[in-house]
Every structure is written in structure tokens, then in C-alpha cells.
């Protein structure tokens, strides 16, 4: 039977100028960043931790409840509070809720993804193995099969780009892209609905994704980067053209 990890001691004086809850959260965050706390480490007993941080036990419990909800801390019966690795789903939900209140969040996220995906495809050109390439190919096949279906096509588009990022074998890029997943999916579907009626755009969509996949298969980072950037740029231009063609409701 594995031995329970000993509680982690306070190794740094807490910032007592910070309000109670913020002090607790700040301590745990700083300790994790410094490597003094890792998933599986047990915190000091509640009384000792509260005293060390200079906060009351109700304040400590409030902070720990928040960290439990974020998936950063787990409370175990008889063992106290234990640091845990948050799930990608939890991070995605927090990030989505954070940005959802911003009316321009989706467009801003679509711009941010350019930086993530273009670096990812450069790495994928040198790191992707047969399984990763097969997943990207499956994503491309999904796009080609759903050109006339906005909902399914949006999901297929999102899957293709997620597979590109996964092929980079970069945990950080994958995690960053995953936190954007829900917002990206919403944008993919919305854009398909806006442009699906235009045959030229559907054909361009198919050709652009084929070109991205071909550049990846050629293992040419510069070409892959440039092709993906062109895909993003042309896609935005075609979408603007389509929106300009849509008749506006008469005033009055």
C-alpha cells in the first residue's frame, strides 16, 4: 500500500498585505509555480495552514472551496486537502465563461488561434508520426464530406484544426488550443452557416484544407505556416464578401 504524502510545509512568508482569500490562493499558486507544491501533495492541516498564512479558518475554507471548484484542490476524508492536476475540461469551462461575457470574444479568439496553430503546424512538420497524420487526414475527410452541412461541417473543421495542433506534440500549445475549443467550435459553425450557400466558398474551403494537409505531409514548416496563414486570411475575406451580399432588412 502506497504511503500518504506528508503535508507540505510553508517555505515562504505569505504576503500579509493581500486580503485573506487572495492570500491563500496566492500562496498555493506561487508554491505550484515554484515547484514546492505538485499534484498529489497534501497541504498542512487546516488549523496549521490558517495560522501560517495569518487567516481565519472560515476564510481558509472559503478559499479552498473555490480551489476545489476549479479542480485544483481535492478534499479527502481523513487526509485533508490535496493538490490535484486540473482537468482540461475544467480549464476550458473557466476560460469560456471568462470570455463569454465579452461581445467580441469569439473574433478575438479566432485571431489568437492563428498564432497557436501556425506554430503548431511548424512543429507538426517535424514531430508528427503516422497516427497523428492519420488523425489530420481523417479531419480533412470529415470536412470534404460535410461541405453542405453547416453544423456537421463546423464540427469537422474544428476537429481538423484540433488534430493539427495535437500533431505538434506540444503539451502547452495543445492545452492552450483546448481551452479555446468551445469558442472555436461556435465560431466554426457560425461561419459555415454564413457561407454555406455560396458554392465558390465551399470549393475554396475544400481546396484550402487540402493544401494545408499537403504542406504538412511534405514536412515543410515554412510552406505549411504560409499555407495555413493564407487559409485563415482568405477565409476571412470570403466570409466578408458573403456577408456583404446578404440583403439587409428594409428600415421602418
Please report the domains of the chain, with CATH numbers, ordered by start residue: 20-83 (1.10.10.10), 89-244 (1.20.120.530)
pLDDT (0 to 100) of residue 17: 61
Question: 35 or 227: which carries more pLDDT confidence?
Answer: 227
Distance CA 237, CA 240 (A): 5
pLDDT value of position 71:
83
Q: What are phi and psi of 81, to 5 degrees?
A: -100, 135
DSSP E strands, the chain: 73-76, 80-83
Taking each helix axis from N to C end, the angle separating 181-195 and 150-166, rounded to the nearest 10 degrees, works out to 140
- Parallel/antiparallel/unpaired status of strands 73-76 and 80-83: antiparallel
Classify residue 181 as exposed, middle or buried by CB count within 10 Å of its CB (0-12, 13-18, 19+). Answer: middle
Query: What's this model's pTM, rounded to 2 decimal places?
Result: 0.72
80: left (phi over 0), alpha (psi -120 to 50) or beta: left
Place 236 in a pLDDT band, splitting at 50, 70 and 90: low
Considering the chain, what is the average pLDDT of its residues? Answer: 84
- Residue 110's pLDDT is 76
pLDDT confidence of 251, banded at 50, 70, 90?
very low
What residues have CB less than 8 Å from 106, skipping those under 6 apart? 183, 186, 187, 190
Give the whole-angstrom CA distance, residue 157 versus residue 231.
12
Would you state the pLDDT for residue 14?
A: 58
Average pLDDT in the 186-212 region? 88
Residue for grid cell 481546396: 207
Amino acid at each position: 500500500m502506497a504511503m500518504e504524502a506528508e503535508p507540505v510545509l510553508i517555505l515562504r512568508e505569505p504576503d500579509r498585505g493581500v486580503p485573506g482569500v487572495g492570500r491563500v490562493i496566492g500562496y498555493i499558486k506561487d508554491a505550484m509555480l515554484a515547484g514546492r507544491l505538485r499534484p498529489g501533495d497534501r497541504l498542512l492541516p487546516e488549523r496549521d495552514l490558517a495560522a501560517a498564512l495569518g487567516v481565519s479558518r472560515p476564510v481558509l475554507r472559503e478559499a479552498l472551496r473555490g480551489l476545489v471548484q476549479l479542480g485544483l484542490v481535492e478534499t479527502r476524508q481523513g487526509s485533508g486537502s490535496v493538490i490535484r492536476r486540473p482537468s482540461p475540461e475544467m480549464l476550458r469551462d473557466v476560460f469560456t465563461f471568462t470570455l463569454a461575457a465579452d461581445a467580441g470574444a469569439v473574433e478575438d479568439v479566432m485571431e489568437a488561434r492563428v498564432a497557436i496553430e501556425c506554430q503548431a503546424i511548424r512543429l507538426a512538420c517535424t514531430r508528427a508520426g503516422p497516427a497523428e497524420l492519420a488523425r489530420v487526414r481523417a479531419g480533412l475527410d470529415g470536412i470534404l464530406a460535410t461541405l453542405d452541412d453547416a453544423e456537421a461541417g463546423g464540427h469537422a473543421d474544428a476537429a481538423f484544426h484540433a488534430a493539427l495542433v495535437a500533431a505538434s506534440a506540444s503539451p502547452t500549445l495543445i492545452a492552450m488550443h483546448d481551452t479555446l475549443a468551445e469558442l472555436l467550435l461556435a465560431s466554426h459553425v457560425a461561419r459555415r452557416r454564413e457561407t454555406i450557400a455560396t458554392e465558390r466558398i465551399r470549393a475554396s474551403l475544400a481546396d484550402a484544407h487540402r493544401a494545408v494537409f499537403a504542406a504538412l505531409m511534405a514536412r515543410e514548416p515554412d510552406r505549411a505556416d504560409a499555407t495555413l496563414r493564407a487559409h485563415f486570411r482568405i477565409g476571412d475575406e470570403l466570409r466578408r464578401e458573403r456577408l456583404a451580399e446578404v440583403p439587409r432588412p428594409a428600415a421602418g
